[in-house]
Amino acid sequence: MSRERSYYVYIMASKSRVLYVGVTGFLMARVLRHRAGEGGEFTRRYHVHRLVYFASFRNVGDAIARETEIKKWRREKKVALIKERNPTWEDLAEGWGEAAVMRVSGKPASLGSGQGFTEFGITKGRA
């Protein structure tokens, strides 16, 4: 059974609310590339790193058509679209790409009994 693909139209914003509209098949990877400065000259220059809106589509043609439509809108209409779903302009991708902490019963997972453990071939333990 094959997994169905999704395509995304997204809007990124800078802290001063400069906007960028894009389309992608891999939203998390694309957002992380923008944050790493690999998203293009515009997003690098204006520090457009916050995901403030996205919509998913099953058909790539529909996603591209929606991106094209939004790009033609005046700024006020784009801002209204963002505020409709994200009134406080929160970064919807906050925490993406950060190291995950494994928890057991609400507490950080233990690395062992305190007798020592091996990490990358180096034995570590208590003195």
Structural domain contains residue 37: yes
In a domain, 34, yes or no: yes
- What confidence score (pLDDT) does residue 115 get? 47
Alpha-carbon span 48 to 31, nearest angstrom: 10
The CATH code of the domain that includes 76 is 3.40.1440.10
User: What is the count of structural domains for the chain?
Assistant: 1
- pTM of the predicted structure, to 2 decimals: 0.74
Q: Is residue 97 part of a domain?
A: no
Asked whether residue 107 is assigned to any structural domain, the reply reads no
Q: Which domain holds residue 14?
A: 7-85
HEC string for the chain: CCCCCCEEEEEEECCCCCEEEEEECCHHHHHHHHHCCCCCHHHHHCCCCEEEEEEEECCHHHHHHHHHHHHHCCHHHHHHHHHHHCCCCCCCCCCCCCCCCCEECCEECCCCCCCCEEECCEEECCC
Give tens-digit pLDDT for 55-114: 999 999 999 999 999 999 999 999 999 999 999 999 999 988 877 677 776 655 555 444
